[in-house]
Amino acid sequence: GLVDAAGVLVHRAQRPTPDGDAETVWETAASLLAEVRAASDGTVTAVGVASAGPVDIPAGTVSPINVAEWRRFPIVDRVADATGLPV
């Protein structure tokens, strides 16, 4: 979702997790990032990531318990590359 500086939800987007490998799941996540960014007024300053499972902050990876394909997935690097924003 997209929140404003006060933490108010401005736009919410979600999709079912697709069957497939890590790249298939990433493509869905990337489409959500693009949708949320398009809903903004152009002043997005950062991206936050939440995960239903272990997050390795120093490594920038997630290992969500409900998405086996994303074990040790480099989410920080991928989101930063896709958005050009700090994560």
pLDDT digits (tens, 9 = 90+) for 46-85: 998 888 888 899 999 998 888 888 888 999 999 999 999 9
pLDDT of 69 reads: 86
Rounded to an integer, what distance in angstroms lies between the CA atom of residue 84 and that of residue 47?
Answer: 10
Give the start-to-end residue ranges of the domains of the chain: 2-83
| Confidence at residue 52, expressed as pLDDT on a 0 to 100 scale | 83
Query: What CA–CA distance (Å, rounded) separates 49 from 76?
Result: 8
CA pair distance 70, 8, nearest whole angstrom: 29
Tell me which H or E stretch contains 11. Answer: strand 9-11
* 33: nearest Cα among 54, 48, 18, 52: 48
Rounded to the nearest 5°, which phi and psi values hold at 47?
-125, 135
CA triplet 73, 75, 79: central angle to 5 degrees? 150
Q: What is the pLDDT of residue 51?
A: 83
The pLDDT assigned to 79 comes to: 95
The model's pTM: 0.85
Residues 4-43 have pLDDT tens digits of 889 999 999 999 989 999 999 999 999 999 999 999 988 8
